[in-house]
C-alpha cells in the first residue's frame, strides 16, 4: 500500500490527525485535560503524522491554540490544513459564514492563531444557506474566487472543498484547481462514490469525514457491522481499525484524519497504516453493499 499521497504540491502520509475532538464536549470550550491534549498532538508528530486537520471554529479558537502550544515552531514537513465557511454562536450552533469577506477573515484568523504565514490547504465548507439570511446566499463562483485570491496572495498553498456535490466539486476543480475534497464516506455509507471517483480521475486527495459512519444517533456505524466484526476477529485488529484500513485499501487517494483526545486511541488509529487486509477480507467487507 502506498504510504503517501500528494496534497497539491505537498506530499503527506495517508494517515494524519484531525483536531476536532481536542476541545470540550460539543466541540466547545477548553479540553477536559489540557495536558493530555498537548500530549496527543506531540505524540502524533513523534509517530510520523505530517498532516493535521483543524479549524478556527473548533472550540471556537481552542484547537488552533492547542496546536500552536504543543508544536510551534512546527516541523518543516508538517502540513496544517484548516477550513472556512462557518462559525459558532455562543450556544454552539454551527452557522454559515459564506461571504467572501468572512472566508478571508477566517483564513487570516487561522494564520494568526496557528502562527504561520501560509496554510498547506484550506477547505471551503459549503452550506445551503437556508434559513440564514440573504447575505449567506453566495454564489459558489464568488466563494471560489476569494479562495483563489487567497492562494495567489500566498496565504494558502491549496484550495479544498467540503460537503460538496459532484457538480460543485467539478466546478471547484475547473475554477480553483482544488487539491482535496472532504465529504462523508465510509464502508456503510458509500453514497459519495461519484465524488470519490471524480477525485481519483483528477488525482485529488479525498479526505472522508465520518469514516466510521455517522456520529449521529440511530445511524449505521462501521464498528457494528457483522462483516467488520468478523474480519476484526480474524485479523486481531479492532473493528475501527478494519473500517479505516478498508478506506485506505478502497482508493489510493484517500487520506484519513481520525481524531481523538486519547494517546492510546491515537496509537491505535495510526497503526491502521500497517494493517494489510487480504483480498478475502475486502471481498467479505464489500459483499452485499
Q: What whole-number distance in Å separates Cα of residue 61 and Cα of residue 6?
A: 28
Question: Which residues are identified as catalytic?
Answer: 58
Report cis status (omega within 30 of 0) of the bond before 73. Answer: yes
Element (H, E) at 182: strand 180-182
Which set of grid coordinates corresponds to residue 267?
496509537
Distance CA 249, CA 61 (A): 35
Q: How far apart are CA 126 and CA 244, in angstroms?
A: 25
Q: Quick one: cell of 130?
A: 437556508
Strand-pair partners of 33: none
CB atoms inside a 10 Å sphere around CB 93: 8
By CB atoms closer than 10 A (0-12, 13-18, 19+), residue 66 is buried
Amino acid at each position: 500500500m502506498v504510504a503517501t499521497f500528494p496534497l497539491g504540491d505537498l506530499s503527506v502520509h495517508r494517515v494524519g490527525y484531525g483536531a476536532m475532538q481536542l476541545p470540550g464536549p460539543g466541540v466547545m470550550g477548553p479540553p477536559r485535560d489540557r495536558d493530555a491534549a498537548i500530549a496527543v498532538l506531540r505524540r502524533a508528530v513523534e509517530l510520523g503524522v505530517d498532516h493535521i486537520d483543524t479549524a478556527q471554529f473548533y472550540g471556537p479558537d481552542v484547537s488552533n491554540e492547542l496546536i500552536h502550544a504543543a508544536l510551534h515552531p512546527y516541523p518543516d514537513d508538517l502540513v496544517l490544513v484548516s477550513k472556512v465557511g462557518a462559525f459558532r454562536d455562543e450556544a454552539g450552533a454551527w452557522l454559515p459564514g459564506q461571504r467572501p469577506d468572512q472566508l478571508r477573515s477566517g483564513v487570516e484568523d487561522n494564520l494568526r492563531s496557528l502562527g504561520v504565514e501560509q496554510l498547506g490547504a484550506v477547505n471551503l465548507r459549503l452550506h445551503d444557506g437556508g434559513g440564514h439570511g440573504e447575505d449567506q446566499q453566495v454564489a459558489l463562483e464568488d466563494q471560489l474566487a476569494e479562495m483563489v485570491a487567497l492562494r495567489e496572495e500566498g496565504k494558502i498553498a491549496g484550495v479544498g472543498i467540503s460537503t460538496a456535490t459532484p457538480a460543485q466539486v467539478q466546478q471547484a476543480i475547473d475554477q480553483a484547481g482544488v487539491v482535496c475534497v472532504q465529504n462523508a464516506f465510509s464502508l456503510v455509507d458509500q453514497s459519495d462514490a461519484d465524488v470519490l471517483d471524480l477525485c481519483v480521475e483528477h488525482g485529488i486527495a479525498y479526505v472522508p469525514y465520518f469514516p466510521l459512519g455517522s456520529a449521529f444517533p440511530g445511524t449505521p456505524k462501521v464498528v457494528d457491522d457483522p462483516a467488520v466484526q468478523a474480519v476484526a476477529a480474524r485479523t486481531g485488529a479492532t473493528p475501527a481499525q478494519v473500517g479505516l484500513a478498508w478506506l485506505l485499501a478502497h482508493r489510493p487517494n484517500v487520506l484519513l484524519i481520525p481524531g481523538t483526545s486519547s494517546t492510546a486511541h491515537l496509537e491505535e488509529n495510526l497503526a491502521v497504516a500497517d494493517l494489510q487486509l487480504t483480498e478475502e477480507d475486502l471481498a467479505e467487507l464489500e459483499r452485499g453493499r
